[in-house]
Chains A and B, each alone.
Chain A
Amino acid sequence: MSLSRLCRVVKCDLVKVQPSSALVSKLWGPCTVREVSTSCTQPASIAQHSTKPDWNRAVSEAEKIVGYPTSFLSLRWVLSDEIANVALHLRKLVGSNHPLLKTAKNLIYNGKNNMQAWGLIVLLVSKAAGHSPEIPDMEQDKAAGVLHSQRALAEVTEMIRTSHLVHKGLVNMNSRQPIAAEPDDMMFGNKIALLSGDYLLANSCSELANLRNQELVELMSSAVRDLAEAEFLGERDEQNNPLPSRPLPKEQIQEATEWDCIVDPLPMGGVIGCAGREWSARHVLAAGALLGKSCSAALKLAGHKPQLQTQGYLFGCHLALAWQAFLDLEAFTGPEPASFSLVGAPLAFTLEARPELYEYIEAGKKSVQDVDYHALYTAVLAGDGLEQTKRLQRSHIARAVDVLDSFPNCDARTALANIIVAMHHEHL
Chain B
Amino acid sequence: MPVFCVCYAVHILKRFVAVVAMACLSSSRLCARVQDKLLCQFGHKVRKQTVFVKLKPPGPSPLRIFGKTCQRVTTCGPACGSGFTAAGVGRRLASSLQSTSTGSLPDYGTQIVDPYRLLEDDLNGIYEDIRSELERNTNQPELNTIATYYFDGQGKALRPMVAILMARAVNYHVYGENSALLPSQRQVAMISEMIHSASLIHDDVIDQSDFRRGKPSVNVLWNHKKVAMAGDFILAVASMMIARLRSDDVTLVLSQVVTDLVQGEFMQLGSKETENERFAHYLTKTYRKTASLIANSVKAVALLSGADESTCEVAFQYGRNLGLSFQLVDDLLDFVSSAQAMGKPTAADLKLGLATAPVLFACEKYPELNPMIMRRFQEAGDVQKAYELVHASRGLEQTRFLARKHGAEAARLAAHLARSPYQRALEQTTDLVLNRIK
Contacts and interface: CB of A to CB of B under 8 A. Distances in A.
Interface of A: 81-82, 85, 89, 163-164, 167-168, 170-175, 187, 190-191, 194-195, 197-199, 201-203, 205-206, 208-210, 212, 214-215, 217-218, 221-222, 224-225, 227-229, 231-233, 236, 238-240, 263, 265-268
A190 B255 contact: no
B229 to A, nearest CB: 4
5 contacts: A195-B269, A201-B232, A209-B252, A217-B240, A228-B232
- Chain B contact-residue range equals 35 or more
Contacts of B252: 206, 209-210, 212
A167 B246 CA distance: 29
A184 to B, nearest CB: 11
Given A198-B261, A221-B237, 19 more contacts: A167-B225, A172-B223, A172-B225, A173-B208, A174-B220, A174-B222, A194-B202, A197-B232, A201-B262, A202-B258, A205-B259, A212-B248, A214-B245, A214-B246, A217-B239, A228-B236, A232-B229, A236-B223, A265-B136
B205 interface: yes
A225 B135 CA distance: 12
A167 B226 CA distance: 9
Contacts of A199: 262, 266
B249 to A, nearest CB: 9
A190 B225 CA distance: 9
A208 B243 CA distance: 10
B224 A171 contact: yes
Contacts of B254: 209
Contacts of A205: 235, 239, 255, 258-259
B223 A228 contact: no
Contacts of B240: 217-218, 221-222, 225, 263
Contacts, number: 156
B224 A173 contact: yes
B138 interface: yes
A224 B235 contact: yes
Contacts of B365: none
Contacts of A228: 143, 229-230, 232-233, 236
Given A206-B256, A233-B140, A240 B206 contact: no
A206 B251 CA distance: 9
Nearest to B198: A198
Interface of B: 136-140, 142-143, 202, 205-206, 208, 219-220, 222-226, 228-230, 232-233, 235-237, 239-240, 242-248, 251-252, 254-256, 258-259, 261-263, 265-266, 269-270
The winner among B208, B224, B247, B261 for most chain A CB atoms within 10 A is: B224
Interface SS, A side: helix
B223 A225 contact: no
B313 to A, nearest CB: 20
Contacts of A229: 138-140, 143, 233
Contacts of A187: 208
Given A173-B208, A190-B205, A232-B143, A202 B243 contact: no
Nearest to B248: A212
Given A174-B222, A229-B138, A89 B236 contact: no
Given A227-B232, A228-B229, A267 B139 contact: yes
A321 to B, nearest CB: 19
* Ranked 9 nearest A-B pairs via Cβ: A218-B243, A228-B233, A232-B140, A217-B243, A209-B255, A224-B236, A221-B239, A225-B236, A240-B225
A222 B224 contact: no
Contacts of A222: 236, 240
B263 A82 contact: yes
Contacts of A208: 255
A198 B223 contact: no
B232 A238 contact: no
Nearest to A222: B240
A89 B224 CA distance: 21
